[in-house]
Chains A and B, each alone.
Chain A
Amino acid sequence: MGRSLINEVIGKHLLTKKECINVTEDTFLITFNEEIEFLPGQFVMVSVNSHGLTRKPFTIGKFRGHLAISVKIVGDGSRYIVETDTPLEIVGPLGNPFIPSSSNGVAVVAPSCVAEGIHLMKHFDIPLHVCSKNSLNKDFISAISDKKMELHIGDDAYLQLLTKLKYEKYDWVFITGSKMMERIGIDTLTGESRKVVYVSYNEYMGCGIGACKSCAVVTKNGIKHVCSDGPIFRGDEICFQD
């Protein structure tokens, strides 16, 4: 029924943008001048004022030492977050931190989650694979250049990466992106290769604080909630709905 969060105090912060970097045609990496304390895997809810009926959830990371989120424009709210020059009010950090089973892992992220990916790469000192359906902005590529990071463009490249990871000696693979990307990753890697796959799950959120119960995910242990039980789940716990 979800972890009770009722007595944990939630912070609010007003953040001003430092940089807004084009990652792909519709995805942006935004960094902020202000810092907040958070742990890997946690997320924030970003207010969009009258540009949407709910705050929007984004996992948080760091880029060039600054607090960062990645935003894919999917509607008026996310467009507002990318385009506005006014400070953004955020609620958080929210959710549970990512505590992997060992230090021997690898992260695979879509451009829409690249802020979190870069943070995990630095925090856990692990390789990072950025998998994009479309080409990445050249300025972004040069900005994020790191010997621990590889880029993979197109669906085939993602599938080839998963095949390669199947046979590499990592204990765990962290995947975050679209539901389809995560599901394919889980299906490919949790079988004979017996890797632990972690996914940072996305479901539409009303409140982000455990009140509304909208962000349900079906697991082998019953209904869980992304905001209070997640956002990170083991792939082999999730029961996908066809």
Chain B
Amino acid sequence: MFPRLELKVPLIIASGPGGFGEYSRFDDFPWEYVGAYTLKTVTYNQKCGNLPPRMYARDGYMINRIGLENPGIEQFLIALENGEYGRLFDKANVILSLGGDNYQEYIEATKKVKPYLCKFTAVEYNFSCPNVDKGGLSIVTELTEWQKLLQEIRKELTDTFLIAKLGIEGGFIENLAEKAVQSGWEGVTVINTIRGLMFNDDREMLLGGLSGPNLLPIAARAVYEVRKRVPEAYIISSGGVYREEDAELLLKVGADAVSIGSAVFQDEKVIARIGKHISEYLKK
């Protein structure tokens, strides 16, 4: 039996759009359909993020170049201890997302969070952010080194459900997923945003990561390839999920859970619609 996340609904809020739980400020947020809520990626050091403009959307695409803005692991853990995210933890299972600029920072961040792991359902490592110069996507381009990192994190967190968030750049995603599972990791999130370029209404150029409904077929192919190569992986599918049928497609091609990201910007009620639909679909 392969390890699986036990979620009331296999629907996960993706890291990034949901911030650190700000959506818990809505009284009508559909928590009953949230299997888990992934926090924004926390890196070893604080990151101020990229210069604006950081986001633009049109015609089924959205581009962002936030640049992993976050308070860094020390400040995050202080806020966690102070109960700043308490409302979120009261409402949902929470997945921690970690990142770093380099090998050592991933390891150091891992060591820092060890005393707090009981609070989290899983830890997702961001190996695919396209919007940072160091770490993120670039970490997987040195495959041997990356696998060594996966193994070292596994040794540090022996009992934690580990998820590698992978993109489609930097190598075939099924190869990367296979390396993660060979290193003892339970799950993968596929895919992250894809590097893109758009001009906004002020004719400013944005070099960032593409998301939005048009990513769906790319995410579906990635899930399909990973499932074929690594049958034992727990696959969280992420990318372009805006409608009930999008989520069903990803489950059909091999996903264990569906992650909702930028669609929450349009309307968080999408979570209830999709959650209800996939619950009924999985009962059949």
Q: Is B71's beta carbon under 8 Å from chain A?
A: yes
CB <8 Å contact, A213 and B66: yes
Q: Is B224's beta carbon under 8 Å from chain A?
A: no
CB <8 Å contact, B25 and A212: no
CB <8 Å contact, A213 and B266: no
B19, B62, B267: the one within 8 Å of A47 (CB):
B267
Name the distance in Å between A240's Cβ and chain B's nearest Cβ: 10
Decide yes or no: A52 and B57 within 8 Å by CB, A212-B66, A216-B52 being known contacts.
Answer: yes
A12, A211, A216: the one within 8 Å of B23 (CB):
A211
Name the distance in Å between B63's Cβ and chain A's nearest Cβ: 10
CB <8 Å contact, A207 and B19: yes
Decide yes or no: A212 and B55 within 8 Å by CB, A54-B266, A206-B64 being known contacts.
Answer: yes
Query: Chain B interface: which of A1-9, A32-40, A130-138, A165-173?
Result: A1-9
Count chain A residues whose beta carbon lies closer than 8 angstroms to a beta carbon of B: 38
Inside 8 A of A207's CB, which chain B residues have their CB?
A: 17, 19, 22-23, 264-265
Name the distance in Å between A52's Cβ and chain B's nearest Cβ: 7
CB <8 Å contact, B54 and A12: no
CB <8 Å contact, B19 and A210: yes
Nearest chain B residue, comparing its CB with the CB of A223: B48
Inside 8 A of B20's CB, which chain A residues have their CB?
A: 6, 211
CB <8 Å contact, B265 and A6: no
CA distance A54 to B213 in the complex (A): 12
CB <8 Å contact, B49 and A212: no
CB <8 Å contact, A55 and B23: no
CB <8 Å contact, B18 and A217: no
Q: Is B231's beta carbon under 8 Å from chain A?
A: no
Q: Is B24's beta carbon under 8 Å from chain A?
A: yes
Q: Specify which of B18, B21, B51, B70 lies most central, judged by the most chain A CB atoms within 10 Å of its CB.
A: B51
Task: Count A-B pairs with CB separation below 8 Å.
Answer: 126
CB <8 Å contact, B49 and A216: yes
Per-residue A-contact encoding for B52-88, CB less than 8 Å = 1, 0 else: 1111111010101010011100000001000011011
CA distance A6 to B91 in the complex (A): 14
CA distance A50 to B273 in the complex (A): 14
CB <8 Å contact, B264 and A222: no
CB <8 Å contact, A203 and B53: yes
Name the distance in Å between B40's Cβ and chain A's nearest Cβ: 8
Inside 8 A of A12's CB, which chain B residues have their CB?
A: 26, 28
CB <8 Å contact, A8 and B25: yes
Q: Is B142's beta carbon under 8 Å from chain A?
A: no
Q: Is B193's beta carbon under 8 Å from chain A?
A: no
- Considering only residues 190-215 of chain A, those with a C-beta below 8 Å from chain B are 203-207, 209-215
Q: Is A99's beta carbon under 8 Å from chain B?
A: no
Decide yes or no: A53 and B266 within 8 Å by CB, A5-B22, A12-B28, A210-B22 being known contacts.
Answer: yes
Inside 8 A of A52's CB, which chain B residues have their CB?
A: 57, 266
B52, B79, B265: the one within 8 Å of A206 (CB):
B265
CB <8 Å contact, A206 and B25: no
CB <8 Å contact, A223 and B66: no
Inside 8 A of B46's CB, which chain A residues have their CB?
A: 1
CA distance A1 to B79 in the complex (A): 13
CA distance A6 to B85 in the complex (A): 7
- Considering only residues 1-47 of chain B, those with a C-beta below 8 Å from chain A are 16-28, 40, 46
Q: Is B202's beta carbon under 8 Å from chain A?
A: yes
Decide yes or no: A6 and B87 within 8 Å by CB, A211-B19, A214-B55, A216-B54 being known contacts.
Answer: yes
Inside 8 A of A210's CB, which chain B residues have their CB?
A: 19, 22
CB <8 Å contact, B49 and A206: no
CB <8 Å contact, B58 and A75: yes
Q: Is A123's beta carbon under 8 Å from chain B?
A: no
Q: Is A218's beta carbon under 8 Å from chain B?
A: yes
CA distance A183 to B50 in the complex (A): 21
Q: Is A102's beta carbon under 8 Å from chain B?
A: no
Name the distance in Å between B72's Cβ and chain A's nearest Cβ: 9
Nearest chain B residue, comparing its CB with the CB of A207: B265
Top 4 nearest A-B pairs (CB, nearest first) are: A211-B19, A214-B55, A211-B22, A53-B57
Q: A9-B26, A204-B57 are in contact. List 10 more A-B contacts (CB 8 A).
A: A7-B87, A50-B266, A53-B213, A55-B265, A89-B267, A207-B264, A213-B40, A214-B54, A214-B55, A214-B66
Interface residues of A (CB under 8 A from B): 1, 4-10, 12, 47, 49-50, 52-55, 74-75, 89, 179, 203-207, 209-218, 222-223, 241
Query: 8 A-B residue contacts at CB 8 Å?
Result: A4-B79, A6-B20, A6-B25, A209-B25, A212-B64, A213-B19, A213-B40, A218-B52
